[in-house]
Amino acid sequence: SAHAEDPAPGAHHKVPCKKAADKTYDLYVPKAYAAGTDRKFPVVFISTPNARQTFYFLESWAERNGVLLVCINDSKNGPWADIQKCQDAVIDSVEQTLRVHPCLRFAMGMSGAASASLFMAVHAPDKHAGVLLMCHSGAGQVAPKHVCVAFIYGGKDDTQPPAGIEASYNTHKTKGCPVRKLLVPDRGHEDATTPEIEVMLDWMLGLARLTHPKLTPDEQKAAKEVVLKRIQACAELKAPEERIKEVQLLLDLPKVDLWPESKPLAGIWLASQLEAAKTINDAVSKHNSLMEALENPLALKCSAAEQSAVKKELDELRKQPACKKEWEAREMFKRIAQMETLAGKNKTKLAEAAQAYAAIATRCADTKAGKEAAAAAKRLGDVK
């Protein structure tokens, strides 16, 4: 129930910690907190490497999802004893003063603060559900099996090179943790964007609400009902891009693709792809967008009638020479990709595939498949 200390919705800055008044945290409370006085709320703990106070512009996300945001203000890179003192003080205060969920707790940070965030989940596994590491591998720490782990990192990061982060991703995957990664090729050692963070948090929150081992059966049942309502509401979303994103989010949740109620989602997705493509003015871009949609495994789950509208649009577009050339190049590329797969490790056959890719790259240089073929030819050429 509500208690005297329930904070008002909105941002609260530099809130002193209960057991260490020299330590503070910033708090963002969503409007749903004031309405649901009998509910316990998920929380995202945010750390930075330089004691910077920030919510990473996640306030709108927190409102949409009914999640508390807590920035551990005094946490910064080293020493570890100080980081732990900050974390303990903030967690203690949050538990004393907020209706915070006992296990739907997430931590995120950048660089050294990512490692500090992973530390929280490693040392209190029953109380955590997910960690987002930006530009860091976690320094050898490995999360408990039920904890979702996401990595966002730059291809040009000299401080935390991609190889170490990818090794940590593979270690967590082998252990059985739900994992995701996003490599941004031209980025150095810098923060992820708010939309990139939101995608990872959406995934973690959705998955944890259905699967965390410490959830009660009633909580799991309630989470399933929320997902079922979202499935029913999906077709009513106005913008096709919104429907596409929502279908992908829903089908990313564990076992949702096996629920009979989720069956209409594939059709909604394909119809939305067609609707979105019709707003594209350039014929070749429109054609490629629809061709990729039809090749997506989701399209294969659609009925012949649902697929036929897209095929009809593609047939019409292929009357234009540029679109026809794109299609022919794509078909050739697919045949050679199959040839490469069948080659296995046979160097002679792989060399033949490389030559075939190079031939498409030359012949269809101005097509998307031609550019992909050039990259594939180079990739095979680089493998000795």
pLDDT, tens digit (0-9, with 9 covering 90-100), for 20-43: 989 999 999 999 999 978 889 999
Q: Compute the average pLDDT of residues 266-282.
A: 96
What is the model's pLDDT at position 291? 95
Asked whether residue 230 carries a pLDDT value surpassing 90, the answer given is yes
Q: How far apart are CA 159 and CA 350, in angstroms?
A: 36
pLDDT at 225 over 80: yes
Amino acid 383: pLDDT: 56
> How high is the mean pLDDT of the chain?
94
Side-chain half-sphere of 201: how many Cα atoms within 13 Å?
A: 31
Average pLDDT value for residue range 50-65: 95
353-373 per-position pLDDT tens digit: 999 999 999 999 999 999 999
The per-residue pLDDT for range 247-256, each reduced to its tens digit, is 998 998 988 9
pTM over 0.75: yes
Alpha-carbon gap, residue 235 to 108, rounded angstroms: 33
What pLDDT shows up at residue 346?
A: 94
Q: Dihedrals φ, ψ of 107, to 5°? A: -130, 145
Q: In the predicted model, what is the mean pLDDT of residues 293-322? A: 95
Q: Is the pLDDT of residue 1 over 60?
A: no
Residue 49: predicted pLDDT: 94
**Residue whose entry in the numeric block shows the structure tokens 């707790």:** 105
